Chain A
Amino acid sequence: MRVPLSWLRDYVDLPQDLSTQQLADRLTAFDLKLEEIVSSGVSGPLVVGRVLSLVKEPQKNGKTINWCRVDVGPEHNEPATDDVPAGRGIVCGAHNFVEGDLVVVSLPGTVLPALGFEITARKTYGHVSDGMICSLAELGLPGDASGIIVLEPGRAEPGDDAIALLGLDQEILDLEVNPDRAYALSMRGVARDAGLALGVPFRDPAGLEPHTGEGAGAYPVSVEAPDACPVFTTLTVTGFDPSRPTPDWMVRAVEGAGMRSISLAVDITNFVMLELGQPIHGYDKAALRGPIVVRQATEGEKLTTLDGVTRTLAASDLLICDDRGPIGLAGVMGGEEVELSATTTDVVVEAAYFDPATIARTARVHKLPSEASKRFERGIDPTIATAAATRVAQLMVELGGATLEPGVTVVGEPPAQPVIHARADLAARVTGIDIDAATAVSALEGNGCAVEVDGDELAVTPPPWRPDLTDPYDLAEEVLRVVGYDQVPSILPVAPAGRGLTKAQRLRRRAGMVLAGQGLVEVKTFPFAGPADLDRLGLDAADDRRRQVLLENPLSAEEPGMTTTLLVGLLKAAVLNLGRGHSDVALVETGRVFLPGERELEAPIYGVDRRPTDEELAALDAALPRQPWHVGLVMAGHRERPGWYGAGREVTWADAVETVRVLAASFHVDVEVRAADVRPWHPGRCAEVVVDGVVVGHAGELHPRVVRDWGLPARTVAAEVDLDALVAAAPEQGPAPSFSTFPVAKEDLALVVDDAVPSAVVHDALAGSGSVVESVRLFDVYTGEQLPEGKKSLAFSLRLRASDHTLGDEEIKAAREAAVAVAAEAAGATLR
């Protein structure tokens, strides 16, 4: 809400010594938050001038300038000489004016903030230009800036102060009005709060005597939807002169408040809306056909609104109709055919109170927020419709030469105000400030409430302009803003002893530290993705990761839904880094993915008057898509960089697998790694990570096609693991250490197996081959001439140790033989 200070002063006696900033601070403390103080900042001799003569002078640079003699009034004119009359010589580059025009001149000494400097007399184009003829933009005013300002003839005299004439002297408070304070979308409301905040008198502009009685001016109205339209008032003025201009003071007020001045009749309706908060609709009486009918729309009905758009209506829309059908969307926008025009002389003035939810719905459905709907949907004062219509009529009489016809139509009554019962100490109990009952009562009365005190109880009737006050806590807020938010003391509450972080929270932290320790850099990407991204990952139609949670209103058509894999964001981040010259990247992200599966998404909506039952809550949770935490990583370039110390090492599939192993180990989770064929990975270089028989993730080298489609370096590797599954598998505590201190026996075994046999199978067989096998480690893999085609040799080192004695030679031999035998059994291994 833009509040011109000069207008505000019409209703409240602001102390003379109060600065604008101080006023704004007080209003901010009363929940009318200052956005900014708008002022032109223009100062100095800005005057009206008349162009006495104008000589066009072509210049070498191709431009033509006007060398003008301008009469700027006796106070500012240079005396006449033999050659020129009294005035000033000014160079002007604009061409939208002629001799005799009234213009605005900034004389030397004028400060124009829009230009950022003070005007001086300066030499230009061979003349001394003794000032500047101004455009709107140079004065910081909105509007057509293509030429200089040309004032209407007769509007002012040369030498008049143009600062006042153009309203450049006014200061405007731009206030942010919260949705619960609809009353502050009016001068009336802001003035009332200013009066309360400053303790100065307030004059209610709605306090005028409303027009009453019967007669021809009472335009017939029938309200068929009284719930949506509780109050509807009309009255009529005739003989309005549409040619009369809007007086300067009203233009300044309306434009200062941020609306455009259009015509006297329209400006008056807007002025009254801004003044009282009551939206007004004026109809050209000549265009109306028969009585006005207020009713709900029928689905599919059509109406062409003022903005020229033909709209298809919904049953929830409330309509203003006449004999021809709809002529306006109630409370939102009028229809084209009956609007006030340049020829309107008889006006039917409508002021109504509409149901806020109805107007909100219509404004939303038709995407038509208007000054009127903004006020109706937040709730206006339902008691001032007739007073507001009367105010409009009086201004049309006063300024437009119209006649107010006898008679007024008033259909319906404003709803009764609810009574709120609250404890007298409620404000104290809510705010923690020591507020006694008398203070609370006086604060509420200051807000316009009627308060009855009954012992410890208050019965509070809020004023009609405060539909937001419905609950006791609402009253506490009103008391608090009078007492002051700065009075709230600071007391640290003592919470009962807590249990610290949950297991999942602790493990996610651990994962973060462990992965950083592995040299990975964490990124946070947007969780949005689209079919093209999934195509580029090579996911086929059957892949569950193709089924996304889609959005009604995505920001980008390329990313219409939520991602099903962290790799989309990670690969994009990798591409970005590679593009910025980082040839070695190792990125990790931890976040949710969104997996709706085949399920149709539909969540229940419950009432809010009670807690939903446990079953209802379970149904709600079950309706949501699965959104587990995942951890994903991508590595490209060098895993170990080359340097003075020697050669580097490029990343391989094994780096991705090992990183997952390290992560799982940090959770004390045993994982099994198996060969898999899953996109976006290379079919021969993809591992699935298995916990307790369930696949929880994949790791390995990306498919060459994926690498190519994303523009990644060859051999880029990646992994993605269901972090929730790893967390679930993690024991509350890791295994206790238990080890023998007897001497170790070290045995190396080279076993020959088929190429296709996974080393893990042989490893696991050896590890399980006897109780004295302490550990098994693969230290070499050999294929080549010394072996038959299709065979490989796996060399393991075994550490053998008994828990209770030193192993003898026979025992060591037996253990070795047992190991070979088990490996032969499990994997067809033979000793090399």
Chain B
Amino acid sequence: MSAPNSEYDPVEVTPLRADEVERARDEALAAIAEASTLEQLKQVRLDHAGDRSPLALANREIGALPPQARKEAGQRVGQARGAVSKALAERTTVLEAEAEEHALAEETVDVTLPWDRTPRGARHPLTTVQEHVADIFTAMGWEVAEGPEVEAEWLNFDALNLGPDHPARTMQDTFWVTPEKAAMVLRTHTSPVQARTMLTRKPPIYVAVPGRVFRTDELDATHSPVFHQVEGLAIDEGLTMAHLKGTLDHFAQAIYGEGTTTRFRPSYFPFTEPSAEMDLLCYVCHNEPGAVAECRTCRGEGWIEWGGCGVVNPRVLVACGVDPERYSGFAFGIGLDRTITGRYDIADLRDLIDGDIRFTEAFGVEL
């Protein structure tokens, strides 16, 4: 740097000449605009805004100027440097954005590629439908009861008013445990759990009983020796068939949607009196004229057989230690396997029990 020189004419100091400053600025701006990468821009910054850049060098000369000339020269150089610095910042932003965009484009993958490394598990619909039913009833304050599958003959039959000579006890329906004197069966219904509940709890009783049951049917597309039911039992003061109907209507709606209703037809079960078969309004055609004739789900009937029900026979109450003078109750039962085959239009019941993973997998982890 030159020493202060009062004789010195600022106009004569070349780097501080207006045209020189302007030129340096324009060269810097042009270089900035030309830089197409952050690397190039880094060099441009060194060349045009670094310590040895023409504008930086010019700036240093200002101190050597006489005081009266400093202001004007300072302004001139300052403005030029400001313009360069602003252009650099702007260009940096643009180039950074471009660089990021480029990098992201480079990293793009085919997101449709499968990542089926680990298999997906699934739960059997017979399990999940039992859980669904349990949820519907527990939401009403009912509880879920269960019991053994190899059951005492007394609980499966006698306690339910199926006396020793009742036709339902003959060999053709029931799996009997060896030896005969074992007096045990594979439960033919979940009703012994109802008896067990009455025997061990005091009314009021409101229980749902889902479970596996057994009959000696040969396996075919519509019959299975092993199948699943859910039964319900309510014992309280003043219960009537109307409460049975109300419960079933609610149950039907919870499973099949609003507007589903049930109807009763007379029937016979030893453990209920009066007894009824219950039909479900077809959840596909709703028995609507025009739709019902073509309906495959109800085969044009408008109604679907759903199960059996009735008022608990007072004889059953007596055998199970419930005072029939004070309490009355109702019971019902539906088949769950048929509920699933009907609901999902499954033609062959054997699909439920073969264990082919494609069947269960279709249901995922919930119905």
Residue pairs across A and B with Cβ atoms less than 8 A apart, 12 shown, are A179-B268, A476-B274, A477-B274, A495-B141, A498-B140, A501-B134, A509-B131, A580-B356, A592-B148, A603-B184, A624-B148, A643-B114
| Distance of A741 Cα from B184 Cα, bound (Å) | 61
Which 5 A-B pairs rank lowest in CB-CB distance, beginning with the nearest?
A432-B242, A611-B321, A573-B355, A432-B240, A178-B268
Report chain A residues within 8 Å CB of B361. Answer: 521
| Distance of A641 Cα from B268 Cα, bound (Å) | 56
Residue A36 CB within 8 A of the other chain: no
| Distance of A33 Cα from B267 Cα, bound (Å) | 8
Tell me how far the C-beta of B185 lies from the nearest C-beta in chain A, rounded to whole angstroms.
Answer: 9
Residue A154 CB within 8 A of the other chain: no
Tell me how far the C-beta of A197 lies from the nearest C-beta in chain B, rounded to whole angstroms.
Answer: 11
| Contact in complex: B121, A517 (CB < 8 Å) | yes
Q: Which of B65-73, B75-83, B310-318 contacts A (4 or more CB under 8 A)?
A: B310-318
Report chain B residues within 8 Å CB of A180. Answer: 268
| Contact in complex: B199, A612 (CB < 8 Å) | yes
Residue A113 CB within 8 A of the other chain: no
Report chain B residues within 8 Å CB of A516. Answer: 121-123, 365
Residue A341 CB within 8 A of the other chain: no
Q: Which of A483-491, A676-684, A694-702 contacts B (4 or more CB under 8 A)?
A: A483-491
Taken residue by residue from 12 to 50, chain B's Cβ proximity to chain A (1 for < 8 Å, 0 otherwise) reads as 000000000000000000000000000000000000000
Closest to B243 in A: A493
| Distance of A561 Cα from B175 Cα, bound (Å) | 10
| Contact in complex: B199, A512 (CB < 8 Å) | no
Tell me how far the C-beta of A586 lies from the nearest C-beta in chain B, rounded to whole angstroms.
Answer: 6
Residue B3 CB within 8 A of the other chain: no
Residue B159 CB within 8 A of the other chain: yes
| Distance of A562 Cα from B150 Cα, bound (Å) | 9
Report chain B residues within 8 Å CB of A485. Answer: 263-266, 276
Q: Which of B87-95, B164-172, B283-291 contacts A (4 or more CB under 8 A)?
A: B164-172
Report chain B residues within 8 Å CB of A29. Answer: 265-266
| Distance of A609 Cα from B150 Cα, bound (Å) | 24
Residue A471 CB within 8 A of the other chain: yes
* B155-198 contacts to A (CB < 8 Å): 155, 158-159, 161, 165-167, 170-171, 175-184, 186
| Contact in complex: A492, B177 (CB < 8 Å) | no
The one of A471, A498, A517 that contacts B273, using a Cβ cutoff of 8 Å: A471
| Distance of A178 Cα from B241 Cα, bound (Å) | 20
Tell me how far the C-beta of A234 lies from the nearest C-beta in chain B, rounded to whole angstroms.
Answer: 27
| Contact in complex: B234, A624 (CB < 8 Å) | no
The one of B158, B167, B261, B268 that contacts A605, using a Cβ cutoff of 8 Å: B158
Residue B257 CB within 8 A of the other chain: no
* A491-517 contacts to B (CB < 8 Å): 491-502, 505, 509, 512-513, 515-517
The one of A364, A472, A521 that contacts B122, using a Cβ cutoff of 8 Å: A521
Taken residue by residue from 652 to 691, chain A's Cβ proximity to chain B (1 for < 8 Å, 0 otherwise) reads as 0000000000000000000000000000000000000000
Report chain B residues within 8 Å CB of A519. Answer: 118-121
| Contact in complex: A495, B274 (CB < 8 Å) | no
| Distance of A512 Cα from B175 Cα, bound (Å) | 29
| Distance of A627 Cα from B165 Cα, bound (Å) | 29
Report chain B residues within 8 Å CB of A561. Answer: 178
Report chain B residues within 8 Å CB of A357. Answer: 165
The one of B117, B143, B179 that contacts A643, using a Cβ cutoff of 8 Å: B117
* Residues of A in contact with B, size category: 35 or more
Report chain B residues within 8 Å CB of A494. Answer: 141
Residue B56 CB within 8 A of the other chain: no
Report chain A residues within 8 Å CB of B243. Answer: 432, 491-493
Which A residues lie at the B interface, using CB under 8 A? 28-31, 33, 178-181, 356-357, 360-361, 364, 377, 429-433, 471-474, 476-477, 480-481, 485-486, 488-502, 505, 509, 512-513, 515-527, 549-555, 561-562, 569, 572-573, 576-577, 580, 582, 584-588, 590-592, 594, 601-606, 608-612, 617, 620, 623-625, 627, 639-641, 643-645, 648
Closest to A515 in B: B121
Residue B304 CB within 8 A of the other chain: no
| Contact in complex: A491, B245 (CB < 8 Å) | yes
Report chain B residues within 8 Å CB of A527. Answer: 149, 212, 226
Tell me how far the C-beta of B84 lies from the nearest C-beta in chain A, rounded to whole angstroms.
Answer: 48
Tell me how far the C-beta of A667 lies from the nearest C-beta in chain B, rounded to whole angstroms.
Answer: 18
| Contact in complex: A431, B241 (CB < 8 Å) | yes
The one of A31, A590, A605 that contacts B183, using a Cβ cutoff of 8 Å: A605
Report chain B residues within 8 Å CB of A513. Answer: 123, 365
| Contact in complex: B144, A501 (CB < 8 Å) | yes
| Contact in complex: B249, A620 (CB < 8 Å) | no
| Contact in complex: A473, B273 (CB < 8 Å) | yes
| Distance of A572 Cα from B356 Cα, bound (Å) | 11
| Contact in complex: B151, A624 (CB < 8 Å) | yes
| Contact in complex: B181, A602 (CB < 8 Å) | yes
| Contact in complex: B206, A498 (CB < 8 Å) | yes
| Contact in complex: A505, B353 (CB < 8 Å) | no
Residue B346 CB within 8 A of the other chain: no
Closest to B149 in A: A592
Closest to B245 in A: A490
Tell me how far the C-beta of B181 lies from the nearest C-beta in chain A, rounded to whole angstroms.
Answer: 6
Which B residues lie at the A interface, using CB under 8 A? 113-124, 126-127, 131, 134, 138, 140-144, 146, 148-155, 158-159, 161, 165-167, 170-171, 175-184, 186, 199-200, 204, 206, 212, 216, 218-219, 225-226, 234, 236, 239-247, 249-250, 261, 263-268, 273-277, 311, 313-315, 318-321, 328, 352-358, 360-361, 365
Q: Which applies to chain B's interface (DSSP): helix, strand, loop or mixed?
A: mixed
| Contact in complex: A577, B355 (CB < 8 Å) | yes
| Contact in complex: B216, A553 (CB < 8 Å) | yes
Most chain A Cβ neighbours within 10 Å, of B161, B226, B234: B226
Report chain B residues within 8 Å CB of A639. Answer: 118
Closest to B180 in A: A552
Report chain B residues within 8 Å CB of A502. Answer: 143-144
Report chain B residues within 8 Å CB of A512. Answer: 123, 127
Given A551-B178, A603-B152, A505 and B144 contact (CB-CB distance below 8 Å) = yes
Given A471-B315, A493-B239, A495-B234, A576 and B355 contact (CB-CB distance below 8 Å) = yes
| Distance of A517 Cα from B122 Cα, bound (Å) | 8
| Contact in complex: B121, A641 (CB < 8 Å) | no
Given A473-B314, A611-B320, A431 and B266 contact (CB-CB distance below 8 Å) = no
| Contact in complex: B239, A603 (CB < 8 Å) | no
The one of A28, A492, A569, A608 that contacts B159, using a Cβ cutoff of 8 Å: A608
Closest to B225 in A: A555
| Contact in complex: B319, A611 (CB < 8 Å) | yes
| Distance of A576 Cα from B134 Cα, bound (Å) | 32
Tell me how far the C-beta of A581 lies from the nearest C-beta in chain B, rounded to whole angstroms.
Answer: 10
Closest to A180 in B: B268
| Contact in complex: A522, B123 (CB < 8 Å) | yes
Given A430-B328, A490-B245, A603 and B141 contact (CB-CB distance below 8 Å) = no
The one of B127, B150, B166, B311 that contacts A549, using a Cβ cutoff of 8 Å: B150
| Contact in complex: A430, B240 (CB < 8 Å) | yes
Given A554-B175, A585-B357, A605-B158, A518 and B276 contact (CB-CB distance below 8 Å) = no
| Distance of A516 Cα from B118 Cα, bound (Å) | 12
| Contact in complex: A488, B241 (CB < 8 Å) | yes
Tell me how far the C-beta of A654 lies from the nearest C-beta in chain B, rounded to whole angstroms.
Answer: 15
| Distance of A580 Cα from B161 Cα, bound (Å) | 47
Report chain B residues within 8 Å CB of A493. Answer: 206, 234, 236, 239, 243, 246-247
| Distance of A611 Cα from B177 Cα, bound (Å) | 25
| Distance of A377 Cα from B165 Cα, bound (Å) | 9
Closest to B205 in A: A495
Report chain B residues within 8 Å CB of A472. Answer: 314
Report chain A residues within 8 Å CB of B175. Answer: 551-554
Report chain A residues within 8 Å CB of B218. Answer: 555
| Contact in complex: B138, A501 (CB < 8 Å) | yes
Closest to B240 in A: A432
Given A496-B204, A608-B315, A480 and B115 contact (CB-CB distance below 8 Å) = no
| Contact in complex: A603, B119 (CB < 8 Å) | no
| Distance of A31 Cα from B274 Cα, bound (Å) | 11
| Contact in complex: A488, B184 (CB < 8 Å) | no
Tell me how far the C-beta of B349 lies from the nearest C-beta in chain A, rounded to whole angstroms.
Answer: 12
The one of B117, B146, B167 that contacts A360, using a Cβ cutoff of 8 Å: B167
